[in-house]
């Protein structure tokens, strides 16, 4: 067992070293196309000291986070509410279902031109776009989760004369919670993608803007720094979410992988 | 005898009620769509909203008919835009599925391979494909190759991850059954692990399709001279909401059609799965 | 409250119950004209093959489903109070053992201290002391069904309905749970209607056994087992004879 673990660690190291070596070779042969690790690190340090477009690097991160989280909170709150109504009442599902089904296949990014046409390139537009990206997965997962609650659990509630409110609180909501959380997780990654796209297409701040700025000023190292930061923050967001899920659903078995 | 007749009639009444409810729900749906479109149309016609910002459904329909033959103002007829987008999306997407699924399956099965490739994968995974656009444009120019590469990246990741997980979740009893029958390691991989990973692999392929399609739109909005993403971007530049809306709906409809085709394919491939 | 007395009080009457529904455009008869009297504090077993309408019958008694014809009557008082132990384990995975057991009382709005006290008593009665704050995933199949029994008792029911509660358990646990359910019933006497497809289980538990035919379910035979002394022995000659009689009379399930 011990030897196997050692082997695993070695393999991981080999792969990471190979990645770095590859990076060094590629970047040294074509430095205009791909900055060296050293150049990237230096660019990163410089970025930490000198503000880009009057905002520090922390500022850019916080702006992106603020946009995502604001939109996410709104999308989760309204999405769970509407999804619950749709999953619970066949009539409401009939009312809202067709319109949602028609709008759902439109990728959130395709909303960018219309939203910019309506509301300009301000903060509201970006939050709205992320909202659109996050809303649909939450609504759909909630509605599916609620309509798929095992009838056996509903029967338990009915045998003990639960009223509608008690049924929702004690049975339907907790039973649908894993599905809802899966929806929120999709919403989170989709929202993060949309905010990056929106910032790349029309913005003067945020992590997506860093990439565009790097691109426009032929600063490939900045592009790479931006990408790394986007990946890092995205990974942290998803890790925080996993912790939150565990805290919210203590009854669920721990998932592996 | 009378009793049994009463039972039959009461069951029939119940069934009729259920059928009536179904029709009622359908009517509600239809009414909801009509009301939605009606309010939209009225809002534009009666100038409740600025008609520069949004066209009415009837105008959108006219614009759609118009776009079928009229290349102005964005340079190409709708068919050309669709063809451009579809071509890119399918090349990148099919390549991702063809490479990604087998790779994921192998990663899940061969431990050494897994440990070797996984770290690199974990580093690349959290970066949204859209963030690759500038870099790939620098590398590959603004042509078809760059866009195909981005779409490939977007579709590749879910294909690999889901196939990988599918193999990892193979019931170990089934593997033992194959082992006791004397199957080789490769044979077990082909006859046991691969089929049992198929449902999850298809989930990945489906997610990949959505990713690919939406990344394509982004790529076309950032750098292109044709395609649906380019069309809606031009619509914005020209302040033509009808073009944007036609473009958005086309994107949505094609996405939905592709998903439907994929679902058909999935049912064909995984026939043994219970509904 | 004498059970031994010859004049038994009727707790519940099923009168000409029938249930049919549409399935694949055909009328499907699940239950056909069943009439039963259920006496106070008796342990009544409803025995029937595979997929006959046993569960449907229980759902009708509990009010979960409406009969197509006939009626369920509670002569003693109009308000029905039933507890239900479900097939498999309908224990809520998102509630702890304690929260599961006190569920019905919480719905009624009983104050926390009182319902906790009652739930605690029942948790100890079913032998789950020390597991109050565990989630069901941490429990074995038998323990989960104990939670189900405690939850059913906690609603303070007049009638306890048990729908093949031990069907999913392994044989060893099943014997153990049969003993347990009798122990609990002796201590907290209630009218129990217990549905099963297992003849041995039926003979071990029941004061009376109602044997149902295959679909559509109707009463085929009623056996009274008062002659068999409790605690019963699985290999006792009387027990085996009874078992054989019923076995010969029972329809085969597909």
Separation of alpha carbons B131 and B150, rounded Å: 9
Q: Does A111 touch chain B (CB under 8 A)?
A: yes
* Per-residue pLDDT tens digits for C194-207: 998 888 888 888 88
Query: Cα distance from C19 to chain B (closest Cα, Å)?
Result: 8
pLDDT attached to residue B93: 92
pLDDT attached to residue A82: 94
Query: Cα distance from C14 to chain B (closest Cα, Å)?
Result: 16
Separation of alpha carbons C200 and C167, rounded Å: 13
Q: Does A117 touch chain B (CB under 8 A)?
A: yes
Separation of alpha carbons B93 and B86, rounded Å: 10
Q: Does A14 touch chain B (CB under 8 A)?
A: yes
Contacting partners of chain A (3+ CB pairs under 8 A): B, C
Q: In whole angstroms, how large is the CA radius of gyration of chain B?
A: 25
pLDDT attached to residue B100: 92
Asked if the model's pLDDT at residue C177 lies above 90, the reply is no
Residues in chain C: 254
Query: Cα distance from C11 to chain A (closest Cα, Å)?
Result: 19
Mean pLDDT of all residues in B105-112: 86
Which chain B residues are Cβ-neighbours of C68 within 8 angstroms? 7, 10-11
C1-81+159-168+189-254: in CATH 3.40.50.300: yes
Separation of alpha carbons A138 and A187, rounded Å: 7
Mean pLDDT of all residues in A111-137: 90
Question: Which of B33, B117, B228 lies nearest to residue A98, judging by beta carbons?
Answer: B33
Question: Which of B131, B168, B214 lies nearest to residue A227, judging by beta carbons?
Answer: B131
- Would you call C18 and B7 a contact, using CB atoms and an 8 Å cutoff? yes
Query: Cα distance from A168 to chain B (closest Cα, Å)?
Result: 23
Read off the tokens for A225: 């720094």
Q: Does residue C2 or residue C59 have the better pLDDT? A: C59
Give the H or E element holding residue C159: strand C159-163
Separation of alpha carbons A171 and A149, rounded Å: 9
The percentage of chain A sitting over the pLDDT mark of 70, rounded to a whole number, equals: 98
Asked if the model's pLDDT at residue C27 lies above 80, the reply is no
| B contact residues 26-85, partner A, Cβ 8 Å cutoff | 26, 28-29, 32-33, 36, 53-54
The answer for residues whose C-beta is within 8 angstroms of residue B38's C-beta and 6 or more apart is none
- The pTM of this model reads 0.84
- Would you call C94 and A156 a contact, using CB atoms and an 8 Å cutoff? no
CB A197 within 8 A of CB A208: yes
Separation of alpha carbons C61 and C54, rounded Å: 11
Asked if the model's pLDDT at residue B2 lies above 70, the reply is no
* Per-residue pLDDT tens digits for C123-159: 988 888 889 888 988 888 888 888 988 898 888 888 8
Read off the tokens for A202: 């029309």
Question: What does DSSP say about strands C191-196 and C43-47: parallel, antiparallel, or unpaired?
Answer: parallel
Search chain C and give the residue with CA nearest B12.
Answer: C22
pLDDT attached to residue B179: 85
- Would you call A230 and B128 a contact, using CB atoms and an 8 Å cutoff? yes
Interface with chain B: mutation pick from C21, C22, C33, C70, highest number of B CBs within 10 Å: C22
* Per-residue pLDDT tens digits for A171-210: 999 999 989 999 999 999 899 999 998 888 888 888 889 8
| CA–centroid distance for C97 within its chain | 21
Rounded to the nearest integer, the mean pLDDT of chain A is 87
Provide DSSP, B71-119: -TTTTS-HHHHHHHHHHHHHHHHHHHHHHHHHHHHHHHH-HHHHHHHHH
The ipTM of this complex is 0.83
- Which residue blocks in chain B are alpha helix, DSSP H? 2-45, 57-69, 78-109, 111-124, 133-140, 144-168, 172-180, 185-188, 194-222, 228-237, 241-269
- Would you call C18 and B15 a contact, using CB atoms and an 8 Å cutoff? no
For residue C2, name the pLDDT band (cuts at 50, 70, 90).
Answer: very low
Search chain C and give the residue with CA nearest A178.
Answer: C94
Using the CB atoms, write b or e for B137-171: b if 16+ within 10 Å: bbebeeeeebbbbbbbbbbbbbbbbbbbbbbbbbe
Asked if the model's pLDDT at residue B96 lies above 90, the reply is yes
| CA–centroid distance for B120 within its chain | 26
Q: Does B245 touch chain A (CB under 8 A)?
A: yes
Contacting partners of chain C (3+ CB pairs under 8 A): A, B
Query: Which residues of C have a CB under 8 Å from any CB of A?
Result: 59, 62-64, 82-84, 86-88, 90, 92-95, 103-104, 106-107, 135-137, 155
pLDDT attached to residue A240: 92
User: Can you name the residues that pair with C29 across neighbouring β-strands?
Assistant: C20
- Would you call A152 and C86 a contact, using CB atoms and an 8 Å cutoff? yes
* Domain boundaries, given as residue ranges, for chain A: 1-34, 35-256
- Would you call A251 and C63 a contact, using CB atoms and an 8 Å cutoff? no
Q: Does B3 touch chain C (CB under 8 A)?
A: yes
Asked if the model's pLDDT at residue C3 lies above 70, the reply is no
The percentage of chain C sitting over the pLDDT mark of 90, rounded to a whole number, equals: 5
Question: Which of C90, C94, C135 lies nearest to residue A152, judging by beta carbons?
Answer: C90
Q: Does B6 touch chain C (CB under 8 A)?
A: yes
CATH superfamily of B62-274: MetI-like (1.10.3720.10)
Which chain B residues are Cβ-neighbours of C69 within 8 angstroms? 3, 6-7, 10
* Per-residue pLDDT tens digits for B134-150: 888 888 877 788 888 98
CB B216 within 8 A of CB B85: yes
Rounded to the nearest integer, the mean pLDDT of chain C is 83
pLDDT attached to residue B109: 87
SS3 of residue B184 by DSSP: coil
Asked if the model's pLDDT at residue A257 lies above 90, the reply is no
User: Can you name the residues that pair with C194 across neighbouring β-strands?
Assistant: C45, C162
* Domain boundaries, given as residue ranges, for chain C: 1-81+159-168+189-254
Asked if the model's pLDDT at residue C7 lies above 70, the reply is no
Closest C-alpha to C232, from C190, C201, C210, C187: C201
Q: Count CB neighbours of C72 within 10 A.
A: 16
Asked if the model's pLDDT at residue B29 lies above 70, the reply is yes
* Per-residue pLDDT tens digits for B150-185: 899 889 988 998 898 888 888 888 888 888 888 888
Interface with chain C: mutation pick from B7, B16, B18, highest number of C CBs within 10 Å: B7
Rounded to the nearest integer, the mean pLDDT of chain B is 85
Question: What does DSSP say about strands C26-39 and C10-23: parallel, antiparallel, or unpaired?
Answer: antiparallel
Question: What's the fold here for domain A35-256?
Answer: MetI-like fold (1.10.3720)
């Amino acid at each position: 067992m011990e030897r196997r673990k050692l082997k695993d660690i070695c393999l991981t190291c080999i792969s990471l070293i190979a990645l770095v070596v590859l990076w060094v070779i590629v970047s040294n042969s074509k430095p205009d196309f791909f900055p060296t690790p050293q150049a990237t690190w230096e660019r990163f340090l410089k970025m930490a000291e000198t503000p880009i477009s009057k905002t520090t690097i922390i500022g850019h991160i916080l702006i992106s986070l603020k946009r995502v989280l604001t939109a996410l909170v709104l999308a989760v709150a309204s999405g769970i509410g509407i999804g619950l109504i749709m999953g619970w009442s066949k009539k409401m599902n009939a009312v809202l279902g067709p319109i949602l089904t028609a709008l759902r296949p439109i990728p959130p990014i395709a909303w960018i031109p219309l939203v910019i046409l309506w509301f300009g390139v301000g903060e509201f537009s970006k939050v709205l776009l992320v909202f659109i990206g996050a809303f649909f997965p939450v609504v759909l997962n909630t509605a599916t989760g609620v309509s798929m609650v095992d009838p056996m659990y509903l029967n338990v509630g009915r045998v003990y004369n639960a009223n509608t409110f008690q049924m929702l609180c004690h049975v339907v909501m907790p039973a649908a919670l894993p599905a809802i959380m899966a929806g929120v997780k999709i919403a989170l990654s989709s929202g993060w993608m949309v905010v990056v796209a929106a910032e790349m297409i029309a913005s003067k701040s945020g992590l997506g803007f860093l990439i565009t700025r790097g691109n426009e000023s032929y600063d490939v190292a900045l592009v790479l720094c931006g990408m790394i930061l986007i990946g890092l923050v995205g990974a942290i967001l998803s890790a925080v979410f996993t912790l939150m899920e565990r805290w919210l659903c203590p009854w669920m078995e721990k998932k592996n992988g | 005898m009378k009793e049994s007749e009463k039972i039959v009639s009461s069951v029939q009444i119940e069934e009729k009620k259920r059928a009536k409810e179904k029709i009622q729900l359908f009517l509600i749906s239809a009414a909801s769509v009509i009301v939605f479109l009606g309010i939209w149309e009225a809002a534009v016609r009666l100038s409740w909203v600025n008609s520069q910002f949004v066209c009415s459904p009837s105008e959108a329909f006219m614009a759609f008919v118009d776009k079928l033959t009229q290349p102005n103002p964005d340079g190409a007829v709708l068919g050309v835009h669709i063809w451009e987008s579809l071509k890119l999306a399918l090349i990148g997407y099919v390549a991702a599925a063809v490479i990604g699924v087998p790779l994921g399956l192998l990663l899940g099965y061969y431990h050494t391979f897994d440990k070797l490739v996984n770290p690199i994968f974990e580093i690349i995974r959290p970066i949204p494909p859209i963030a690759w656009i500038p870099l790939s444009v620098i590398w590959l120019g603004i042509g078809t190759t760059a866009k195909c590469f981005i779409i490939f990246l977007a579709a590749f990741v879910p294909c690999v991850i889901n196939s990988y997980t599918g193999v990892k979740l193979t019931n170990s009893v089934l593997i033992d059954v194959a082992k006791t029958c004397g199957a080789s390691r490769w044979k077990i991989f082909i006859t046991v692990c691969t089929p049992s990973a198929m449902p999850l692999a298809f989930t990945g392929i489906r997610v990949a399709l959505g990713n690919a399609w939406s990344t394509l739109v982004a790529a076309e909005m950032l750098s292109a001279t044709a395609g649906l993403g380019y069309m809606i971007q031009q619509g914005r530049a020209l302040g033509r909401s009808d073009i944007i809306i036609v473009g958005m709906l086309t994107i949505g409809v094609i996405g939905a059609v592709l998903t439907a085709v994929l679902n058909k394919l999935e049912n064909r491939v995984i026939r043994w799965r219970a509904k | 409250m004498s059970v031994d007395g010859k004049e038994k009080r009727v707790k519940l009457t099923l009168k000409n119950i029938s249930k049919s529904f549409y399935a694949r455009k055909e009328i499907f008869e699940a239950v056909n004209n069943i009439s039963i009297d259920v006496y106070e504090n008796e342990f009544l077993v409803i025995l029937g093959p595979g997929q006959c309408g046993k569960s449907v019958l229980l759902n009708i008694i509990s009010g979960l489903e409406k009969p197509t014809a006939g009626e369920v009557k509670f002569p003693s008082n109009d308000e029905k109070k039933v507890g239900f132990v479900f097939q498999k384990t309908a224990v809520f995975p998102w509630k702890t053992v304690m929260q599961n057991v006190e569920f019905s009382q919480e719905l009624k709005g009983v104050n926390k201290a009182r319902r906790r006290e009652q739930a605690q008593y029942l948790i100890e009665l079913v032998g789950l002391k020390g597991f109050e704050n565990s989630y069901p995933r941490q429990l074995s199949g038998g323990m989960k069904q104990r939670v189900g029994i405690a939850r059913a008792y906690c609603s303070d029911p007049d009638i306890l309905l048990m729908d093949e509660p031990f069907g999913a358990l392994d044989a060893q646990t099943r014997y153990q749970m049969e003993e347990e359910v009798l122990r609990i019933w002796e201590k907290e006497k209630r009218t129990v209607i217990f549905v099963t497809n297992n003849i041995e289980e039926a003979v071990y538990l029941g004061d009376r056994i109602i044997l149902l035919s295959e679909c559509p379910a109707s009463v085929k035979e009623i056996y009274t087992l008062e002659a068999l002394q409790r605690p019963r022995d699985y290999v006792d000659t009387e027990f085996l004879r009874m078992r054989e009689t019923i076995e010969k009379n029972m329809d085969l399930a597909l």
